[in-house]
Amino acid sequence: MGDLANSAVDFYPKSQRRELNHAGGLGCTLPELRGLMELRGAEALQKIQDGYSDISGLCRRLKTSPTEGLSDNAADLEKRRQIYGQNFIPPKQPKTFLQLVWEALQDVTLIILEIAAIISLGLSFYAPPGEETEAKKQDGAVAMEMQPLKSAEGGEMEDREKKKTSAPKKEKSVLQGKLTKLAVQIGKAGLVMSAITVIILVLYFVIQTFVLDGRVWLAECTPVYVQYFVKFFIIGVTVLVVAVPEGLPLAVTISLAYSVKKMMKDNNLVRHLDACETMGNATAICSDKTGTLTTNRMTVVQAYLGDTHYRQTPEPGSLTPRILDLLVHAIAINSAYTTKILPPEKDGGLPRQVGNKTECALLGFLLELHRDYQPVRDQLPEEKLYKVYTFNSVRKSMSTVTRLPQGGFRVFSKGASEILLKKCSNILSSSGELRGFRPRDRDEMVKKVIEPMACEGLRTICLAFRDFAAGPEPDWENENDIVGELTCIAVVGIEDPVRPEVPEAIRKCQKAGITVRMVTGDNINTARAIAAKCGILQPGEDFLCLEGKEFNRRIRNEKGEIEQERLDKIWPKLRVLARSSPTDKHTLVKGIIDSTIGEQRQVVAVTGDGTNDGPALKKADVGFAMGIAGTDVAKEASDIILTDDNFSSIVKAVMWGRNVYDSISKFLQFQLTVNVVAVVVAFTGACITQDSPLKAVQMLWVNLIMDTFASLALATEPPTESLLLRKPYGRNKPLISRTMMKNILGHGVYQLSIIFTLLFAGEIIFDIDSGRNAPLHAPPSEHYTIIFNTFVLMQLFNEVNARKIHGERNVFQGVFGNPIFCAIVLGTFGIQIVIVQFGGKPFSCSPLNAEQWLWCLFVGVGELVWGQLIATIPTSHLKCLKEAGHGPGKDEITDEEMAEDEEEIDHAERELRRGQILWFRGLNRIQTQIRVVKAFRSSLYEGLEKPDSKTSIHNFMTTPEFLLNDYTHNIPLIDDTDVEESEAARRPPSPPPTPNKNNNAIDSGVYLATDDGSKSPTSAGPASPLHSMETSL
């Protein structure tokens, strides 16, 4: 029955409308109208009565009609636009390109590379004295790589209210946080390795030159020595650049962007990139029924009319004219006039349903009875309706008041059968006469008619009316009295068939470890029947099906407050929540998210289409709005919009989310293998031969292969059904599993063995000149070119191995389903041929012959064979392997971060800030220890002068001379433990924790504080030596 306005709407005849159209100018200002919109209920009505006498007066002031709205006068519309503004929601201001660039420049890995680039660029311009300015700078290549711009997330620039709370917060991107933490750790290790490389090279050169060879530093040799030191430094920078995994953020962005584009074809319009990743970890889905699990094409299939239960549409001749006439008027008039049944667009097709689907089913029922609703509406147009009580989720009914020709009024009502039947005191008999309808008659109808319909999955709607005799008009504002003492016309059963693909989609969700819950406004029997058809309820399963009232009764205490402990006893077994309101949905979603009874926090996805679903969609980890039936407010509050309103599209979103995680893991496995091998080769080769076997430009090409190209190749793998055969990874799942660690180390051993064999015996194997210990500006050698070529080809074939991260043997499965992967591998191989054969001195390459190329290819293909050998080793036998890339734990999130203004936790930013916090903590503790030493030294000396003060330890601690008034804290306390200790004496004790930490449970704010005067004289004040000693300890 739709999302119509909740308040009653008055309608007026055409004569009054003509008076309005001839009224004067606009008599309401924009602030006045805005003030009206901020009021609700009786307060708003009182405001209208005080300022405009009634709604009619307001309409006259605005020069409009309450039934037909504004006229089509272009000049009048333009005038209104100038006064009141345009009638549309303004788009949010997107971030500028420079803002996006600045955000991208904050990435920690990029900062490291920027520093390396500046140093390398500066050194490349260095020309030693006596050398030509056109000095060769091939080793001074600028190692500058740009990171992807962060998504503006739909241009979201909201002004958030500042609030400090310890409630659980939505994490911005769990995967991004894990990657940032891992990248920082690897970057630190690379920085240490690069520093050690430079130190070893410098010491080796100095010892060899000035100690063993006995040379003396001559002034004329200084430019040569400086050149060597510059070369060593550039080698160190090269090791650092290779070690820093700057491709990780790039891989995430590419994978998410690619997934978002492909998800659009699967009817998922992603509004926030993070939602795609989060959906892969979803553990619960709270879904609507109508339109999501069902087709949203409703049809009346059963009816109770004139004391008879019809299992199919009755013949018109079997019903009395009075019943038929009342039924036609009750349906035609008491429905939105915008709801219609139109002819099919194609011959042989079904009639088109326009408007509210439930009302369309009732109108279709009239057409099946060979009755037309349109003549009734033409005879009684919408402006002649006297009053309308529109449908809302509270009353679950709709009523319309019409004036009778002979005087008096008639009220038509329709709504939920079990609710409206309680307001009926009469019912139409088979002859069309009124018959008393007692409570036991109602109970019998519920048992024999309504419950059987509901058990078959039918939505039951009651149609009723009431006549008011001519005379004094009743109080139309008292809806409860108006919609009472009704006469039941009929009870109909409306079927909304389950979408044929939904049961299979729900089965996939259950296999994937995702619990599906139905939250609907339908009767509990109807909801239970639909849930059974969908597969949400399984035979023999221990589950709960509750109505909204029972749900609230169980989760609230005597004060009406929601308790998380009570909610935790309900939601794990809850599968169906019937007769629920949008508030109930929000309560359920918030309760599941805030629950701590499991090992990991639940990740909840929610579907919604109405305006009132906005809070639940916002609260959920991933909010799905209906693209067809959804309101603009619901879409704005959502993360993903289902363009087909189909539940099976949510399952595809789960597949894409899990595929993002696996794609990043594939890329991580490949890149870390390259990182380990490249760093070890550069470090070992430089320390032994005083030169890196892989030159700076070659390293940059390798970096390009393993960053940009590998990101595109491995992050664009399409999802498969096998992704739904495992449980959600969870937020604390490490990025690098033990199987991946086995692959990384295993392939690293193979590649290092090959590279070192070629480095120290390559000239013998291929009968060529050695490239080791070459002069400073020696031409490229075949020896080092073979090493470089073999290294690159091993990475290409290892990229094929990296497509599988769970120990699968067939690494070629589905490879041709990803044309991007094939194109990148073949394209990289082609470019490698060009670099080796024609790169020359800029790439430090010497052309190779066919035999040398075949040997390089043979070693590269050996990666595939070696991968099969690694797969045969059971991971369970390798107990020494450890996982890596864990997400930030709960203990790593400090109270300061949880109390920040931001509503979301940015793991990347927190990782950067942690280093600063540790630095200041160390500085603070050193200063504290210094103060302790000074305090005891001062107290000792002063104590010697005043021996009376040492009569007892208590006197010693309370003597004013020994208070550290001169040694108060002069810097901010970064350590949260220091803050707590220093403030402990000043703040009142906190109240005992209350279990009411969910939803509307509010602390009273009344605390019991102890008297300051009762403090023990022996207590350590915040400025006492004992306190300082305790702090340092």
pLDDT band at 928 (very low <50, low <70, confident <90, very high): low
- The predicted pLDDT at position 553 comes to 93
Residues 6 or more apart whose Cβ sits within 8 Å of residue 519: 286, 287, 288, 577, 580, 584, 585, 588
> Mind listing the pLDDT tens digit for each residue in 57-109?
888 888 888 777 888 888 888 888 888 888 777 777 888 888 888 887 777 66
Reported as a single tens digit per residue, the pLDDT across 570-615 is 999 999 999 898 889 999 999 999 998 887 888 999 998 888 888 8
Residues 6+ apart with CB under 8 A from 107: 147, 246, 249, 908
For residue 239 the two structure tokens come to 């090791």
Check residue 83 and give its pLDDT: 84
Backbone angles phi, psi at 398, to 5 degrees: -135, 140
- The pLDDT score that the predictor gives to residue 926 is 54
Q: 307-314: long-range contacts at Cβ-Cβ below 8 A with a sequence spacing of 24 or more?
A: 307/429, 307/430, 308/430, 309/448, 309/449, 313/365, 313/368, 313/369, 314/369
Q: What is the pLDDT of residue 887?
A: 59
**Average confidence score pLDDT of the chain:** 77
Return the pLDDT at 844: 87
* Stretch 709-734: mean pLDDT: 84
Percent of the chain with pLDDT over 90: 30
Average pLDDT for residues 427-450, to the nearest whole number? 91
Residue 323 has pLDDT above 90, yes or no: yes
CA atoms within 13 A on the CB side of 806: 7
Poorest-pLDDT segment among 62-71, 127-136, 149-158, 258-267: 149-158
pLDDT value at position 41?
A: 73
Which residue bears the tokens 């293998």? 673
789 and 795 in contact (C-beta within 8 Å)?
no
- For residue 291, the tally of other CB atoms under 10 A from its CB is 24
pLDDT confidence of 1003, banded at 50, 70, 90?
very low
Report the length, in residues, of the chain.
1033
AA identity, residue 755: I
Q: How far is residue 442's CA from residue 448's CA, in Å, rounded to a whole number?
A: 10
User: How far is residue 101's CA from residue 98's CA, in Å, rounded to a whole number?
Assistant: 5
Greater pLDDT, 263 or 1014: 263
pLDDT in tens, 479-533: 888 999 999 999 999 988 888 889 999 999 999 999 999 999 888 888 998 999 9
The dihedrals phi and psi of 700, each to the nearest 5 degrees, come to -65, -40
Local structure of 574: helix, strand or coil: strand
Higher pLDDT, 825 or 1026: 825
11 touches 386 (CB < 8 A): yes
Q: Report the candidate in 159, 161, 122, 164 with the shortest Cα–Cα distance to residue 140.
A: 122
pLDDT for residue 676: 86
Q: Residues 595-600: contacts with CB within 8 Å, 24+ apart?
A: 595/564, 595/567, 595/568, 595/571, 597/568, 597/572, 600/730, 600/731, 600/732
pLDDT more than 70, % of the chain: 77
Using 50, 70 and 90 to split pLDDT, how confident is the model at 915? very low
Residue 175 DSSP label: H
Higher local confidence (pLDDT), 802 or 394: 802
**What integer pLDDT is reported at residue 831 of this predicted model?**
93
At 364-392, the pLDDT tens digits run 999 999 999 999 999 999 888 999 998 87
Q: Which pLDDT belongs to residue 456?
A: 87
Mean pLDDT of the 929-955 span:
43
Round to whole Å and give the CA distance between 220 and 994. Answer: 80
Question: What's the CA gap between 960 and 956, in Å, rounded?
Answer: 9
Q: Which residue has the higher pLDDT, 823 or 918?
A: 823
CA 314 distance to own-chain centroid:
51
Q: What is the pLDDT of residue 776?
A: 64
Catalytic residues: 288
CA distance 462 to 556: 32
Give the mean model confidence (pLDDT) for residues 147-160: 37
- Supply the pLDDT for residue 112: 66
pLDDT band for 655, please (50, 70, 90 cuts).
very high
Confidence class of residue 930 from pLDDT cuts 50, 70 and 90?
A: low
Nearest Cα residue to 545 out of 572, 584, 516, 578: 578
Q: What is the mean pLDDT of residues 26-42?
A: 80
Instruction: Quote the CA–CA distance of 912 and 904 in Å, as a whole number.
Output: 16
| CA atoms of 320 and 204, how far apart (whole Å) | 110
pLDDT above 70 (res 285): yes
User: Alpha-carbon distance 82 to 98, whole Å?
Assistant: 34
pLDDT (mean) for 727-735: 78
Q: Looking at the predicted structure, is the pLDDT value of residue 160 above 50?
A: no
499: burial class by Cβ within 10 Å (0-12, 13-18, 19+)?
Answer: buried
User: Which residues are CB-neighbours of 115 under 8 A, at least 6 positions away?
Assistant: none
Query: At 116, is the pLDDT very low, low, confident or very high (cuts 50, 70, 90)?
Result: low
- In the block, residue with structure tokens 């080092």: 784
Residues 817 and 758: beta-carbon distance below 8 Å: no
Q: Within 10 Å of residue 297's Cβ, how many Cβ atoms?
A: 15
Measured CA to CA, the distance from residue 843 to residue 704 in angstroms comes to 14
- Among 201-205, 537-541, 821-825, 960-964, which range has the highest average pLDDT? 821-825
Residue 929 has pLDDT above 80, yes or no: no
The pLDDT score that the predictor gives to residue 73 is 84
Give the burial class of 358: count Cβ atoms within 10 A of its Cβ; 0-12 exposed, 13-18 middle, 19 or more buried: buried
Residue 552, pLDDT above cutoff 90: yes
For residues 422 and 413, give the distance between their C-alpha atoms in angstroms, rounded to a whole number.
13
DSSP assigned state of 538: -
307 conformational bin, left if phi > 0, alpha if psi -120 to 50, beta if neither: left
Is the per-residue pLDDT at 290 higher than 50? yes
Q: Please state whether beta strands 434-436 and 387-389 pair in parallel, antiparallel, or not at all (unpaired).
A: unpaired
